[in-house]
Amino acid sequence: MAHRLLQANINHCRCAQDLLVQSMAEWLIEVAVVAEPYFVSPINNWVGDLDGLVAIASARALCVPPLITIKRGKGYVALEALIGPIQPRRVLVVGDLNAKSTAWGSPKTDARGEVLEDWAATTGFLVLNKGSNVLERVETLSDHLYIRFDVSPSPEHPDRRRPRKPERRWVLGSLNKDVLVEAAIVQAWQAPPEPVEVEGEAEWFRDAMSNVCDACMTRAKPCPPKRRVYWWSHEIEEIRSDCVVARRQYTRHRRLRRRNKTL
């Protein structure tokens, strides 16, 4: 199972950070690595270093488990996150190194990339992202582009997480009180499994309550994840599209001017 990640440098810009949060919701991004954040949110789905140079954020709308800080310093943060296998993984996030390597999708390897490759090999880190995906046609309100990629479990550490059970929700307005009483009495006749254990009895009780609710109410349809923040609108979407077109025209014009100067 691949996990969606996003990398961004927002130059300590408030608008760029707001747009990043919307982009995470729109693309169902689970984790974002943010260089030069505007601020680090105090809620537990954001973790940052001591100097405000780098942070990592998880998606609350996708019910990604909270991030647990292990150690923070100047320009780096070490944390624990549930990404991939069922056991939490320790993740080290450092500042913007500008290191290029074909190992993580760059067209070429530079000196910094070689150093980072050697360091990762000696410390046992694995490169798990697939391909290079710099989003050139997306407005970021920053002079840096987004980098979007997927992370998959390595063959040595396959994803052994159990599939999530579908969310159980019912329409309260469809409640039939008479059926509720009858279903509860019938369910009470059934004893929990033996031998009785705390987890087993809790599972039995949860299933019993679900059976009662199924008998007396209609199940509600699952809610799809929200793909926009509360302030996002169709008008803002159009403005972002206009910004992308203007940026593309400006970039093309600069390239033509440089080409003409070299002739």
Kindly compute the dihedral angle of the four CA atoms of residues 27, 28, 33, 38, in this order, to the nearest 10 degrees: 70
Shared-domain flag, residues 17 and 117: yes
pLDDT in tens, 105-158: 778 889 988 888 888 788 777 776 666 688 888 889 998 899 888 876 655 555
Shared-domain flag, residues 156 and 196: no
Shared-domain flag, residues 34 and 150: yes
Q: Which of 142, 160, 178 is the last residue of a domain?
A: 160
Shared-domain flag, residues 176 and 153: no
| CA 79/CA 196 separation, integer angstroms | 37
- H or E stretch at 55: strand 54-58
pLDDT for residue 86 is more than 50: no
Shared-domain flag, residues 259 and 201: no
Percent residues over pLDDT 70 in the chain: 79
Residue 224 within any structural domain of the chain: no
Shared-domain flag, residues 207 and 92: no
> Structural domain of residue 107, as residue ranges?
3-160
Residue 252, judged by CB atoms within 10 A of its CB (0-12, 13-18, 19+), counts as exposed
| CA 111/CA 101 separation, integer angstroms | 9
Shared-domain flag, residues 40 and 117: yes
Q: What is the pLDDT of residue 24?
A: 92
Q: What is the pLDDT of residue 199?
A: 74
Shared-domain flag, residues 107 and 213: no
pTM: 0.67
Domain CATH for 25? 3.60.10.10
Residue 85 within any structural domain of the chain: yes
| CA 224/CA 235 separation, integer angstroms | 23
pLDDT in tens, 221-262: 877 777 888 889 989 989 988 888 888 888 888 888 888 877
Q: How many domains does the chain have?
A: 3
Q: What is the pLDDT of residue 255?
A: 82
| CA 58/CA 45 separation, integer angstroms | 5
Q: What is the pLDDT of residue 84?
A: 47
Shared-domain flag, residues 205 and 251: no
Shared-domain flag, residues 148 and 37: yes
Residues 222, 227, 228, 234, CA torsion sign: negative
Q: Output the DSSP codes for 71-123.
A: EEETTEEEEEE--SSSS-EEEEEE-------GGGT-SS--HHHHHHHHHHHHH
Shared-domain flag, residues 29 and 151: yes
Shared-domain flag, residues 155 and 254: no
Long-range CB contacts (within 8 A, 24+) of 189-192: none
Contact call for residues 6 and 33 (beta carbons, < 8 A)? yes
